[in-house]
Structures are given as C-alpha cells and as structure tokens.
Amino acid sequence: MSSPPGKIAVVQVSSGASCNASLPSTRRNEFIKEHRTVQELKSALAKQEAIIAQQQRRMESVIARLDQQGAQIQKVSAQLEVSKPALQMTLNNQ
C-alpha cells in the first residue's frame, strides 16, 4: 500500500479483523517488542514512584525527629543559661 507524496495513507480495518493480522510479521514482531518495552518501562516507573513515595515519608519522619531534637537542645540550652548564675554563686561561696 502506498500513497502519493505528501498524502496521508488511510487504512481501514474491519471490526472483526485483528490489526496485527494485516501487518507483515517483521512489523508485528517490532510492535510486540516495543509494546513489551513500554510495559517494562511502565513497571519500572511504578516501582520508582513507590520508592520515591517511601523515601518522602522517611524524610518527613527524619525532619520531624530533627525538629524535636532541635527543640530539646534549645530547652537544655535555656536551662543551662538560667542555672549559670546559680552555679557561679555556688563556686564563689566555696
């Protein structure tokens, strides 16, 4: 089947016929190979998306723990600042 230069070829397939049946076997094999590649890529993408989502949840957990630790450090630092004068007075009285 050929079409004049610059024209688009139109192929009509009846509803009962398989599209693959009209393709030459090399084209059909290429199509099957490409289809398999697309399916593998989709599967790999889905796995990567799941891994990314898991890593995002873990990062959020780590950030929350770091925030808690930062708050604890600030609390202890404030307590140390408050107790410095009392500790200094105790040392001076000895």
All structural domains of the chain with their residue ranges: 20-93
Q: Which of 73 and 83 is assigned the larger pLDDT?
A: 73
Distance, CA of 69 to CA of 71 (rounded, Å): 5
Global pTM value: 0.54
pLDDT confidence of residue 44? 97
- pLDDT per residue as tens digits for the range 5-58: 666 665 555 555 455 556 688 898 999 999 999 999 999 999 999 999 999 999
Q: Is the pLDDT of residue 89 over 80?
A: no
Q: Is the pLDDT of residue 74 over 70?
A: yes
R_g of the chain, CA atoms, integer Å: 35
pLDDT confidence of residue 8? 67
pLDDT confidence of residue 84? 76
Structure tokens at 71: 């708050």
Distance, CA of 35 to CA of 29 (rounded, Å): 10
